[in-house]
Amino acid sequence: MLRTKADVFIIESLDPDDEGNGRFEGSVISSILRLHGKHPMYRYVRTREEFEEAVKEFGKSRYRYLHISAHGDKEGLCTTNLEPIDFDELGDMLQPYLKDKRLFLSACSMVHEDMAAYVIPKTDCFSVMGPEDDIEFHRAALFWASLYHLMFLKDSEKFNRARLTETLTKASDLFEVNVKFFYRSESTRGFGEADVHPGKKLNKKLTKKG
């Protein structure tokens, strides 16, 4: 088995208005990662074909973490030229390359139970995570950059589920981002879900008392 590299491969595909206004989340994350001495690979794509080529390049890179930044919904994501890639198609594309790796999805509302049920058993990846609701560009850039900063600060060579759960919880609470985190397990479903929403629990407790 080839040894993987503890680094991030970023694929980004936004709409023309985002391009014109310089809303490139991936470049912000890349800058933070380089400050940590990492060597992120960043690919901006506009078509489905370019997206598939970038996925193949990710496979060849042997990088351990794949970050995808795009417009999304509960069905999947969309490229710059409005070619949809639904979550089952994405799982098929990633299947040869994502085993024992982690997928970070910065695409609104795309990470949910049905998506995890298909992608995790299909690819045999360690985990999939991302926002469960719509998220603004500035908030997404700050959230992901902070998550990678905190993870690589203490775990420069390997992310484990316990640390990811802890760090996602902190970042989710700080930036008020609702996050879903699914991981591979030996359950009958083939995956489990980590609880990364302590803020919601706290708010409920306060409401009951007040």
Distance (Å) of CA 202 to CA 62, 122, 135, 137: 40, 36, 22, 26
Q: What pLDDT shows up at residue 198? A: 60
Give the chain's mean pLDDT: 90
- Better-scored residue on pLDDT, 137 or 110: 110
Q: What pLDDT shows up at residue 40? A: 97
Q: What pLDDT shows up at residue 209? A: 28
- Kindly report, residue by residue over 57-101, the tens digit of the pLDDT: 999 999 999 999 999 999 999 999 999 999 999 999 999 999 999
Number of H helices, E strands in the chain: 8, 9
* Buried b / exposed e along 130-162 (16+ C-beta atoms within 10 A): bbbeebebeebbbbbbbbbbbbbeeeeeebebe
Taking the domain 5-209, which CATH number applies?
3.40.50.2300
Q: What pLDDT shows up at residue 204? A: 36
On the question of pLDDT at 120 being above 50, the answer is yes
Domain ranges of the chain: 5-209
Confidence of residue 203 (pLDDT cuts 50, 70, 90): very low
- Kindly report, residue by residue over 9-55, the tens digit of the pLDDT: 999 999 887 776 777 999 999 999 999 999 999 999 999 999 999 99
Amino acid at site 84: P
